[in-house]
Structure 1
Amino acid sequence: MESRFFKIKALDVLQSSKQHEYFSRTDITDLLNDLRTIMKMTSSRLNFDIPALMTEENYIDLTGLSKDQFSDLLGYMSTVRSSGVRSVRTCLGVFFTKLRVGLSNKILGTVFGLKTSQVQRIINAARRTLMETFVPHTLGFQHVSHGDFVTNHTTPVAKQLFTTDPRQAVIVLDGTYIFIQKSSDYHFQRMSYSMHKHRLLVKPMIIVGTDGYILSILGPYFADGHNNDASITKHAITNNL
C-alpha cells in the first residue's frame, strides 16, 4: 500500500473470494460517502494524496523528486498533522512545487484548491519542519564526521595534490547567486544589487568536497562590494562558522 491506497500492481493481482455479497443500508451509505470523498480528492489534477493519480514524471516535473524520494521525505514530516484543509502529503507537495516551479501563492492555491492564506501557512509549516528534522542530518559541518568526509568525499587526486597527511580533508568554497525580486525596502534593495551581475541577488557560500558533495552552505550574504568570495571566506574563518 502507498498512502492508504493500493498500488496499481497490487490491484492487478487482487482476486475476489466471493461471487456475491449482501450490503446493509449502512454499508451502502458508507460506500457512497467513501466514493464522494474520493471524487472530491480526484477533482484536482495535482493530487499528492493518491499517488496512483500522478506519474513519476509528474512528481519530478513538479517537485524535482521521484516518488520514492518524496515518500522518504514524508518520514521527516512527523511533527506536521493532517487537517481538514490539507494532508501531510499535500503540505510537502505544495512546498516543493513552490521551490521547483516558483509559482505565486495565489496560483498555487488555485491549482491545489486552497486559499492564499492556507498556502502561506502550508509553506511555512513545511519549511519549519524540514529545517528542524531534515536539514541537520544532511547539511552543515555537524552532519558528517571528519573521517567519513575524508574517506568518502575527498578524491585521490585532491589528496595527492593538496595534502601531506591522509587524514586531512580538502574542501572547495565558492559563492553562488540567488536572484530575487525588487524589494520595497530601499536599504535592502541597495545592499542586494550586484554591480557585477547588474541584478538583485543574494550570495550563499557553498562548501563542497572535491567529489561535489555539499558539506555546508553559509549565508546568504548581500551582493554589495563588501561581500566578495574572499571577504565571505575570511568572515567564515574569523567567526568559526
Structure 2
Amino acid sequence: MSRFVPINIGLQAITRNQYINNHVSELENILFNEDENDPEPIVFMDGTYFYIVKSTPDGFILDRNRPYFSDSRNNDAAMLRHVFGNYAQERQEWLKENAILIVDRGYKDVIPLLDELGIEHRMPAVVERGSPN
C-alpha cells in the first residue's frame, strides 16, 4: 500500500497531460469534447456493486474509492455525493479544469451537484421503451 498505490493508482499518480496523451482516444475526444482540437481529460465514472471484471475504455483505472454498502439509498449518485463531500478537494481540482466526466443514468440525481461544482459532464441519452431506435 505504501509503495505501489501512491505511484500507480489515484489522481496523484498521473498528470492531466499524461492521462490525455495515454488514455483519451481520438474517438472519445470527437464524441464528447466540444473542441476536438483541444483534447481534455475524459473520465468514465461508474460504481461496481460486487466483484466483477468490468470493462473500461482502455482498462486504465484513474482512481478508486472505498467499498460502499449498496441498497436503494446507497446508489451511484449517493456514493459520488459522498466522495465529493468528503474527499472533494483533490478530485474537484483535477476534474474542474475542463475535464469531462461521463456518467450513466445512475448518476442522474447528482447532476445538480456536478453543475454546482462546475464539473462538466455528459450522460448518454435514454431511448424510450418501445421506440424503434
Which TM-score band (shorter chain)?
A: 0.5 to 0.7
Q: Runs of 5+ in structure 1 lacking a partner? A: 1-130, 180-205
Structure holding more helix per residue: 1
1:163 alignment counterpart? 33
Q: TM-score, normalised by structure 1?
A: 0.31
- Determine if the alignment matches structure 1 residue 176 to structure 2 residue 23: no
SS in structure 1 at match of 2:62: strand
Larger Rg: 1
CA distance in 2, matches of 1:211, 1:238: 28
CA distance in 1, matches of 2:83, 2:56: 17
Q: In the TM superposition, what is the alpha-carbon distance from 1:217 to its structure 2 partner?
A: 0.9
Q: In the TM superposition, what is the alpha-carbon distance from 1:225 to its structure 2 partner?
A: 2.3
- 5 Å-filtered alignment, 1:1-241, equals 131-165=1-35, 166-178=38-50, 210-239=57-86, 240=88, 241=91
Greater relative CO, 1 or 2 (CA 8 Å, sep 6+): 2
Q: TM-score, normalised by structure 2?
A: 0.54
Runs of 4+ in 1 over 3 A off after TM superposition: none
CA distance in 1, matches of 2:56, 2:8: 14
SS in structure 2 at match of 1:171: strand
CA distance in 1, matches of 2:58, 2:41: 12
CA distance in 2, matches of 1:145, 1:167: 14
Aligned residues between the structures: 84
